[in-house]
Structure 1
Amino acid sequence: MTQTRTARTILAASAGLFLAGLGTGAQAQFDPQGLYSTRDILDAEVHFESAPASEPSEVVDILLGDDRKVQAIVVDTHDSVGLDGDTVVITNQHYRLVNFNENGETQHDIIVETDTEALDAMPRYDREWMNTARERAREAWDSTGEGAESAWHRTRQGLDRIGEGAENAWERTQEGAERAGRRISETLDEWTRDSDG
C-alpha cells in the first residue's frame, strides 16, 4: 500500500471525528466544493464504516433520475469488504462525499455509512435490478410528476413566449419535476429498506 493510499485510508477512517469538530485545521478539508466532476467521483476511493480495515472499493457508475439528480452510486466492492467483491447499489442516504487536498488538488473519498447488516442487504447491481429500478422510478415519476416532462427532454420554449403565463407554466413544470425526483429517491430508498428486512 502506498503512502498516499495509507494517508487516504486514515483520512477516511477519521472523517467522522473531524466532522464532529476535532482538529480545526483539518475540518476545512470537508468544505463544500460547489460543483463536482463525475470523472473525479468515478476516481474516488470508497470506504465502508462497517469494514474499516478493508481495502478501498471503486465507484463504477452514477445513477441519475429524470430530474437529472444523482439517485445512487454503483460500487465494485473490494473482496476485503465482505461482500465477495459484489457490485452494489448505494442510495444517497447511505454515503457521503469527503473533499480533501492532495498535492494542491481537490480529491474525493466516499464514506459508506451503514452497519454490516445493512451493507449485506444492499441491492446487487445487475441487468435485472436496473430494469426493475427503472420501472419503479418511471412509475414514481408518472404518479408524482403531474405531467412534468423529463428534465432531459424539457425545453424552455414557453419562456420564449411573451407573458407571465408561460413563466408560471414553466415554474409549475419544474416544481412537478422536483416532486417527482424526490419521489424517485424515496422509492429507491424504500426498496433498499424492504430488501433489508
Structure 2
Amino acid sequence: MIHGKPLHHATRTATLGALLAGSLALSAGAMAAPQGLYSTDELLDADVYAAGSSAQVGEVQDILLDNDMTVRALVIDTGTLLDLKGEQQFVIEAGKFTVETRNGHDLEEIEYRVNVELSEAELAEQPAYTNDWWQNAREGAQKAWERTKEGAASAWESTQEGASRALDRIGQALEDVGKKTQDAANQ
C-alpha cells in the first residue's frame, strides 16, 4: 500500500504521471503555463468548466496519448450536467483546453481544474467517446503515421537528389573554370 492505495494503483499512477509530465509540458497548446510535473491520478476526475460558464460541466474521464506519449486529447464525462439524455463522454483535443493547478505545492492537496475553450453547446458537439470513435481514431492515427514515414522518406530522397544535382553543377562549374584557366595559361 502507498498513500492508502494498492501498489498496482501506485505503479500505474507513477507511470502515467511520468508520461503525462512530459506530454503536458511539451504540448504547448494544451497548457497555459507548463509547470513541469503533473499527476495523472489527480488529473483524472478533475473538474471541467466550459468557456463562459462558472458551473462545472463534467470531469476528466481519460487521457489519450499518441505514439510519442504526447497528450492528444482528454475524455470529458459530462454525466447529466449538460442537460443531455443520459451520461455523455466527449473527446476534447489538445489545444481546446488548459489545465490549471491548484495547491501545487502539496502533493496531498494538489488539484486541477480543466478549462475547455468551448461553450457548453460546442462541447456537446465534440466527438462522442465510443468504440466506433476509438477504432476510427486509431486507424486515422496509423494512416497519418504511415503518411509521415512516406513523406519523410520522400523528403530525404528529394534532398539527396537535390544535393547530387547541386554537386554535379558545382563540379561542372569547377571543370569549366579549370578549362578557362588552362586556355588562358596556354595563350
TM range (shorter): 0.5 to 0.7
Partner of 1:97: 99
Q: How does 1:112-123 map to 2 (within 5 A)?
A: 112-123=116-127
Q: How does 1:35-74 map to 2 (within 5 A)?
A: 35-53=37-55, 55-74=56-75
Q: Are the equivalent residues in 2 in contact too, given 1:47–1:111 (CA < 8 A)?
A: yes
C-alpha displacement of 1:117:
4.2
CA deviation map 1:18-56 (0-9, x unaligned) = xxxxxxxxxxxx864201121111031111225433x45
For structure 1, which runs of at least 5 residues remain unmatched after alignment?
Answer: 1-29, 149-197
Partner of 1:130: 134
% same residue: 38
- Cα pair distance change 1:133/1:95, threshold 3 Å: same
For residues 130 and 53 of structure 2, the distance between their equivalents in structure 1, rounded to whole angstroms, comes to 23
For residues 135 and 59 of structure 2, the distance between their equivalents in structure 1, rounded to whole angstroms, comes to 23
- Secondary structure of the residue aligned to 2:41 is helix
| Residue 109 (structure 1) aligned with residue 113 (structure 2) | yes
Query: How many positions carry a matched residue from both structures?
Result: 118
What RMSD over aligned residues (CA atoms) do the two structures have, in Å? Answer: 2.5
CA deviation map 1:70-99 (0-9, x unaligned) = 110111103222444311000011110001
- Cα pair distance change 1:44/1:95, threshold 3 Å: same
For residues 138 and 80 of structure 1, the distance between their equivalents in structure 2, rounded to whole angstroms, comes to 34
Q: Which gives a bigger RCO, structure 1 or 2 (Cα 8 Å, sep 6+)?
A: 1
For residues 142 and 111 of structure 2, the distance between their equivalents in structure 1, rounded to whole angstroms, comes to 34
Partner of 1:178: none
Return 39-48 or 135-144, whichever deviates more.
39-48
For residues 51 and 119 of structure 1, the distance between their equivalents in structure 2, rounded to whole angstroms, comes to 12
